[in-house]
């Protein structure tokens, strides 16, 4: 049913195609007259919708869901996806012929972490939007918030940045700066009492941790290596190693026995 709805959203649907509705549903191909259609999250299209899109691109025609009448269309198609379409083709989730037909003029937009010069512009844009939306006026980001925004890796890209700023707009008071506690109220590591150096180190630590998750990742293996490194650095002094690790001596003793280190 979900795929049928997606197909109908793109191609349109005839009366009673999948409900008792008496009126037809115009799809995206119906609406623009010599205009432009934008299709997001392209890889999620059903096989039927992919076939319909390919036919529209190749022949300039399509059929509504539940209908057999061919309709002509003359539009430009712009598509977007966060996934690697080449990989989706290899996995059989996306048609190779459609991929090659769409790949006429590819535009690859790098993730936000690779274009940090865009972050201040995006921050200003979204702050202005949420000022209008919530009838508030802010004095921009605090210095610590700015440092965090520039150094954070933004795995959710612009959408994550937008959501974080909307949360801040709800929590921050009118005519005040937006601080870290407004951006990340649930996490102690974002407490506004931290130093700038500590704030800057958080994204770097997150990046290093994310790099550990390979196919053969093992938490026990890394825990053992960390304990051995702490023991070596403390010259086999268990109390000093426990202090380095931020755990009690009893906890370290247990782990040393566990790994027979």
Q: What is the pLDDT of residues 88-137, one digit of tens each?
A: 899 888 999 999 998 888 888 888 888 889 999 999 999 999 999 999 99
Provide the angle, in degrees to the nearest 10, between the axes of the packed helices 219-233 and 249-259: 120
What separation in angstroms does the CA of 23 have from each of 18, 26, 72?
12, 10, 20
> Quick one: which of 78, 5, 73 has its CA closest to 37?
78
Read off the tokens for 68. 């057999």
- Name the E strands within the chain: 36-39, 61-62, 71-72, 76-79
The Cα–Cα gap between 200 and 151 comes to: 6
| Ordered domains of the chain (ranges, CATH) | 2-102 (3.40.50.300), 113-212 (1.10.8.60), 219-259 (1.10.10)
The answer to whether the predicted template modeling score (pTM) of the entire model surpasses 0.75 is no
66 sits in the region (left: phi over 0; alpha: psi -120 to 50; else beta) called: left
Residues 160-185, mean pLDDT to the nearest whole number:
88
Q: Under a CB-based contact definition with an 8 Å cutoff, are residues 144 and 190 in contact?
A: no
Q: Are 169 and 141 within 8 A, CB to CB?
A: no
> Which range, of 7-21, 91-105, 200-214, averages the lowest pLDDT?
7-21
Kindly state the DSSP code that residue 111 receives in the 8-state scheme: P
pLDDT band for 188, please (50, 70, 90 cuts).
very low
């Amino acid at each position: 049913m979900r795929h049928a709805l997606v197909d109908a959203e793109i191609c349109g649907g005839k009366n009673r195609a999948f409900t008792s509705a008496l009126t037809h549903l115009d799809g995206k191909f119906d609406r623009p007259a010599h205009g432009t259609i934008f299709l997001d999250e392209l890889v999620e299209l059903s096989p039927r919708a992919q076939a319909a899109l390919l036919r529209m691109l190749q022949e300039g025609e399509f059929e509504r869901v539940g209908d057999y009448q061919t309709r002509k269309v003359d539009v430009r198609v712009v598509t977007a996806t966060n996934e690697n379409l080449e990989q989706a083709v290899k996995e059989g989730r996306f048609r190779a012929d459609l991929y090659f037909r769409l790949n006429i003029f590819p535009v690859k937009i790098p993730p936000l972490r690779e274009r940090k010069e865009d972050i201040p512009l995006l921050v200003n844009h979204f702050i202005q939007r949420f000022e209008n939306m919530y009838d508030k006026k802010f004095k921009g980001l605090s210095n610590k918030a700015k440092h965090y925004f520039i150094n954070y890796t933004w795995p959710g890209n612009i959408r994550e940045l937008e959501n974080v700023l909307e949360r801040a707009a709800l929590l921050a008071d009118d005519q005040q700066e937006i601080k870290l506690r407004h951006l990340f109220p649930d996490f102690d590591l974002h407490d506004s009492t931290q130093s700038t150096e500590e704030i800057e180190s958080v994204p770097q630590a997150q990046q290093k941790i994310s790099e550990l998750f390979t196919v053969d990742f093992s938490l026990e293996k890394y825990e053992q290596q960390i304990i051995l490194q702490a023991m070596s650095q403390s010259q086999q002094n268990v109390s000093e190693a426990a202090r380095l690790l931020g755990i009690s001596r009893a906890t370290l003793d247990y782990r040393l026995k566990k790994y027979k280190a």
